[in-house]
Each structure stands twice: as structure tokens, then as C-alpha cells.
Amino acid sequence: MSPLLELIRITRRFGNLTALSEVSLRVNTGEVFGILGENGAGKSTLMHLLAGALQPNSGQILLEGQKVVISSPRRAFELGIGMVYQHFKLVGTQTGMENLALFAPGGWWRGVSAEVRQTADRWRRELNWNVEMHRPVERLSVSEQQRIEIIKALSLGGRLLILDEPTAALTPAQVDSLLSTVRQLAERGLTVLLVSHKLAEIKSVCDRIMILRQGRMTLEAAADDVSTSEIITAMIGKDISLPTAARAPQGGRSVLELEHAEPKHRGRHSFGRDRSVLKAASLRVNAGEIAGICGVEGSGQIELSAILTGETDAAGRLVIDGIPLTKFGARRHLKDIGVIPADRQKEGLILPWSIHNNLALKAHDRRPFSRWGILRRRGWSDHHERIKRQFDIRAGDLRMPVVGLSGGNQQKVIVARELELKPGFLLAINPTRGLDVGAAAFVMQQMLTARDGGMGILLIHDDLDELLRLSDRLYVMYAGHLYETPWPDATRRQIGAWMLGNELESLRSGPRGDDGFRDRRNGPVQP
């Protein structure tokens, strides 16, 4: 009997980047198949290929031995592939049943047909779920929304169910119930593809697993046959020791103190993705050190940075440079701290503007760049020429719009602007994302120089290698909780395990901490 799904040497490139390289796999009917990998390993590309949102550059997809081309999402449904994205694809103002009907095939003039209703009810009965299908989904909880998504995927597809990071936003009890549902479905002959960063879950529920690393398959095995340690190695590579610039604690004053900070909950339910993951975060950054935060995507990093930039109001205590911000929503502090935002084009730069203006964006209203509210542009030129040399911004003319620069030089403009004022505290989010090696090295070097100059830096970064290279201290973020690690006295492998939610217990009574701050570590540890 041929397997339900077979991929043969699938390759997908984006520009110069190869997201998936010659990946082959076989999934049998009635199997729960887990796909694991770090951020950017190619998992979501793989799923988008199966859901019809992307096409492979080469390779074949076979379904029950037949070669298929999944040309569109609709085609995927027709082939029996149902997909549940991490960010649900639901119309918030419509009820669960209506969302189902929106996706259901068939005529435009049919309403919520009896067929849709029956299919949905059948799955609800089978899963023994009592989901409210007649209220707008935005008024439902995340887990209820997810159930609707799963019912939707099952009614549409019904043969192969793909779950993308299904447990990211769920409580432990909800996770347990979801995983048992997955098993239940598999026993009924349905095939489930489970994509996750979370090792424990995958191991407990999957029959077989596959591990992707940098677009390649590094391991495929039955879940019971491999040890956790083998999996971690396959995911994050050999445990090589990396050069690190970590220094011993400098004992500087604290430039950022965060105590039990989390987004303020509003009375109303907000739609799924807006729901906060972050829970009572406490951390501290001292002058002259880089504190890194690592964690798999969606562990709460976005919420944390939103709090620090005043994007969302927060509960808790936040002290920057010794000044407590009583009302977090106040954005006045942004003038006095440095921010290297995650998306340089959308949040960092004013693209049609000249390099001059972009460099001056932060300092333009202080002396000597302006006086009495009037800009003194004459003084800018020399200053900016100096910055240009110092930060190696490769541009012919500073009057050129910044949109014409390469990504690396754009990032250098931001880094120059934020570091140049020598703020006491810098928040850097993925500062080297998408840069070529040279530019990335330069940006990192600048951050180290700034640290040596006494700046306190909070670094939230996807790239674990770079993060480890830069950080003096390291926090791990898992499921919205922050844990301080004993870095640099921890190995990369250990850190990898913590990021995936393993062995976090050891961090509870963490071996290190500067001045009693470690005891404020918080949050329950999930199994």
C-alpha cells in the first residue's frame, strides 16, 4: 500500500535563500507525524506548500501514490488536505458556522447549508466537543476558535489534517485535551501532520517525527526510537563551543527594571492573535551589559517589546534609567532610549526620505540640530558625514532617499541613529535579520562597542548563535514566561532544550543571579 502522502525531493527557494532543500518524506494513513525545527528551519514553507499557498521550485508531491499539483488553497481542500494555521484564518465578526460555510465548496447562493451543518455536527459529535458555533468567533476564547478551525479543516479536508503550532496559545490543560484529540483522530484513520517547536508534545503524541534544520531534513525516525538528546542535536546541530563576547558582571547601575509586567487586560475579548502570551515578566538590564532573550517564535517576545515601546499599556512596574514609568502607555521615554525595531522598513525608517533626515529623526529636536524649534540643517552635514564614515554606511550622497540603500546599509542608518545619542538603554529586536554576513558582523560589533561604552542593551533575537555570541546574560522565554539562565556557564544544547520547554525545572532554582533578582522568577513550569 502506498503512503497517504509522499514528498519527493521538494525544493523551494526565495530569491537567494533556499528555504527547503530536497526534502523527502512519507506519511502513512492513520499516522501522527511530527515536524520539528527551529525558527526559519523551513517548517512553515513546507506547510504552505501542502496547503496550496506556495508552489515548490522542484520535486513532486504524491497523494496515495498519485502525483498531484496543489495549485491553490481550494485544490488542497479538494484533495482532502485541511490546514489549521497558527494565526487562525477566521472572520472575527462571523459565527463559527458561517466561517465554515465561507470555506465550503459549492454555489454562491447557498447559505449555511444543511450539508455544512451536518458535517460540522458530525465532527463535533465525534470529537465530543461542545463548541459554540452560533456566536461571532471573535467573542470566543482562543481554544474555542481553534476548535472551530479544526472542525473547519476536518470538514473541508477530512483526510490529512495539518496543525501549525497548535499549542502556542493554549493553557496546559487545553494542550492535553488537544493532544488527546489528535490521537483520537489518528485512531479513526485520519492522518495528522503536527508542526511544532515543542519537543515534549511532539514526542508524546507523534508516531514518527522529522526534523528540519536550515531547510534540510536532519532526522526522520519513529518517535519512540529517538532520545530527546538526539532530537535536540538534530535540531540545533553539534554542540560546538562558540566564541562569546560575554563579560563578567560589571556591577553597573540598572538601566531597565521590569517587574511583573504584562499587557493590561481589557474587559473585552480580543480576536485570537491579539491575545497576549506574555505573563508577568520580570527582568533587569544593567549598564554595560547585553542581556539577551531567546525563545522560539511566539513565546511572548512581541508582547514584551510592545510593552517596552509603549505600544500596549501594561500592568506592572517599569523603571528605565532610574525613572519609574507609572503609566506605561506614556511614550515620553522613547526619546531617551534607543530602539532598533524588528521591521526596519515599516518601523525604523521613513523610506522616501533622505539618509540625512532619517539619521536626524531622533535628534532633530535637540541642540545643536535645532534651536527654538527651528532646524539648523547646516550643522547636520558634517555631523552626518562623520557618522557615515564611523558606521560605514555605503551611500554616495546623504541626500539620496534611504529606500535606495541595501538592507544592510538601511540597518546601519538605524543603528547609527539609535547608538549615536548614547542612550543609557537600547532595545534591539532581531538587529541582524536579513543582513549579509559583513553587515551583520558590523552591526554586532557596534553593539559590543556601545556596551563597552556603558550602554545597557536588551537583545531579543531569533538567531541563537549570534545571541549567544553577544549576550553577557541570557534569559529564556518559554510560553510567555521568562527564566534567567546561567549563561555563559551553560551549553548551547542546554539552552536549546530550555527554549523548547525541557528541563526548565533546573532554572527555577537557578544557580546565578546578580543581586537577588533571580528569585522573582515567575510562572508555572509546564510539563
Residues in 376-405 that interact with another protein by CB under 8 A: 377, 401, 403-404
Task: Annotate each residue in 38-67 with x if it binds another protein (CB under 8 A) or - if it does not, as one string.
Answer: -xxxxxxx--x---xxx-------------
Count of residues interacting with another protein (CB under 8 A): 82
Q: How far is it, in rounded angstroms, from Cα 160 to Cα 51?
A: 10
SS3 content of the chain, % helix, strand, coil (to 5): 35, 25, 40
- Enter the C-alpha cell of residue 8: 519527493
Rule CB under 8 A: is residue 74 a binding residue for another protein?
yes
Residues of this chain, 93-132, that bind another protein according to CB under 8 A: 93-94, 98-99, 101-104, 106-112
What strand order describes the sheet that includes 254-263? 281-286, 254-263, 314-320, 323-324
Identity of the residue, 1 or 346, whose beta carbon is nearer to another protein in the bound complex: 346
Spatial CB neighbours of 424, under 8 Å, sequence gap ≥ 6 = 255, 287, 320, 321, 336, 337, 455, 456
Q: Find the binder of another protein among 30, 92, 237, 523 (CB under 8 A).
A: 92
Identity of the residue, 112 or 419, whose beta carbon is nearer to another protein in the bound complex: 112
Identity of the residue, 98 or 289, whose beta carbon is nearer to another protein in the bound complex: 98
Using CB under 8 A, which of the segments 178-186, 203-211, 341-349, 466-474 binds another protein? 341-349
Rule CB under 8 A: is residue 189 a binding residue for another protein?
no
Long-range residue pairs from 346-353, CB within 8 A, at least 24 positions apart, any chain: 348/410, 348/411, 348/414, 349/402, 349/410, 349/413, 349/414, 350/402, 351/401, 351/402, 351/403, 352/401, 352/403, 353/401, 353/402
Q: How many other CB atoms are found less than 10 A from the CB of residue 264? A: 14
Rule CB under 8 A: is residue 512 a binding residue for another protein?
no
Identity of the residue, 243 or 267, whose beta carbon is nearer to another protein in the bound complex: 267
Using CB under 8 A, which of the segments 250-258, 372-380, 490-498, 519-527 binds another protein? 372-380
Q: Find the binder of another protein among 406, 422, 503, 515 (CB under 8 A).
A: 406
Task: Output phi, psi for 13, to 5 deg.
Answer: -115, 150
- 3-state SS assignment for residue 520: helix
Maximum distance among all Cα pairs of the chain, rounded to whole angstroms? 81
Q: Terminal CA-to-CA distance of the chain, rounded, Å?
A: 38
Residues of this chain, 225-284, that bind another protein according to CB under 8 A: none
Q: Using alpha carbons only, how large is the chain's radius of gyration in Å? A: 25
- Enter the C-alpha cell of residue 427: 532595545
Using CB under 8 A, which of the segments 203-211, 243-251, 333-341, 496-504 binds another protein? 333-341
Helices 172-187, 142-156: axis angle to 10 degrees equals: 10
Rule CB under 8 A: is residue 80 a binding residue for another protein?
no
Minimal distance, residue 334 CB to another protein, in Å: 4
Q: Find the binder of another protein among 122, 335, 508, 512 (CB under 8 A).
A: 335
Q: Find the binder of another protein among 162, 307, 416, 435 (CB under 8 A).
A: 435
Identity of the residue, 10 or 179, whose beta carbon is nearer to another protein in the bound complex: 10
- Enter the C-alpha cell of residue 225: 526510537
Rule CB under 8 A: is residue 17 a binding residue for another protein?
yes
Q: Give the start-end residues of each E strand in 287-397.
A: 290-294, 314-320, 323-324, 338-340, 370-371, 374-375
Q: Find the binder of another protein among 309, 491, 506, 526 (CB under 8 A).
A: 309
- Enter the C-alpha cell of residue 347: 518601523
Minimal distance, residue 72 CB to another protein, in Å: 5
Q: How far is CA 253 from the centre of its chain?
A: 31
Q: Find the binder of another protein among 8, 91, 245, 325 (CB under 8 A).
A: 91
Rule CB under 8 A: is residue 19 a binding residue for another protein?
yes
Identity of the residue, 109 or 114, whose beta carbon is nearer to another protein in the bound complex: 109
Identity of the residue, 5 or 349, whose beta carbon is nearer to another protein in the bound complex: 349
Minimal distance, residue 443 CB to another protein, in Å: 13
